[in-house]
A and B are shown apart, each in its own frame.
Chain A
């Protein structure tokens, strides 16, 4: 079983719609959680960190559920430019910040 798992998708989303997807992690001691966005053949870029209380950044909302060991990302009012692969990343080690475990990514395709 992989330590960080994501639904690979693709999630086909009409422009303007809402899409949400989860990422599960196996290590209950995990400390930090992140969502990265990766465009085709490009480097990952941090989309947002995920805080215990949940957090929102514009059209993006991230949630953490420690009891069930998953994080979620919700995208509202989807734009064509939101089409990308969304990678979740988990840091299970207290002092090894930056040493992240990534999921394989969830592909989102926003259609006109």
Chain B
């Protein structure tokens, strides 16, 4: 499968614990994005990387959140001291300016990591 893959798909944790999600983008894509989606809402942008550089972080990304893409390939999103409000689907997406016939901006999403904080 050459799509975006995320791990784990589901995570249940207790409030106060740390969790880490991993995303493996499509191999030739240089941009990687993290979005968060809660029930009944559309995805909300969190942060993105171009290669290994983190170019932008949303104000939604509090200091408990940290994302890395150390070698410009896979990325991790860590949430420290989880809160119940962190319960959501965390979506990773990748894109490339040379995605072919579609204009830049087409995102290829992974299946998401669903977080439940008890």
Contact = CB atoms under 8 A, between A and B. Distances in A.
Contact of B104 (A42, A43, A98): A98
A99 B107 CA distance: 9
Interface residues of A, number: 24
Contacts, number: 66
A74 interface: no
Interface in A18-39: 32, 34
B93 A98 contact: yes
Interface string B36-50: 000011111100100
Contacts of B42: 4, 87, 89, 102-105
Contacts of A46: 102, 106-108
Interface stretch (B13-21, B63-71, B73-81, B109-117): B109-117
Contacts of B33: 98-99
A89 B102 CA distance: 15
Contacts of A87: 42-43
B43 A49 contact: no
Q: Which of A42, A43, A96 has the most CB of B within 10 A?
A: A43
Contacts of B28: none
Contacts of B56: 96, 99
A45 interface: yes
Interface string B19-37: 0000000000001010000
18 contacts: A34-B105, A34-B106, A42-B111, A43-B91, A45-B109, A49-B106, A87-B43, A89-B42, A97-B31, A97-B103, A97-B105, A98-B48, A98-B95, A100-B43, A100-B107, A101-B45, A102-B43, A103-B42
Given A43-B91, A43-B110, A46-B108, 19 more contacts: A43-B109, A43-B111, A43-B112, A44-B43, A44-B107, A44-B109, A46-B106, A49-B102, A49-B105, A49-B106, A87-B43, A91-B105, A98-B33, A98-B105, A99-B48, A100-B45, A103-B42, A104-B40, A104-B42
Interface of A: 4, 8, 32, 34, 41-46, 49, 87, 89, 91, 96-105
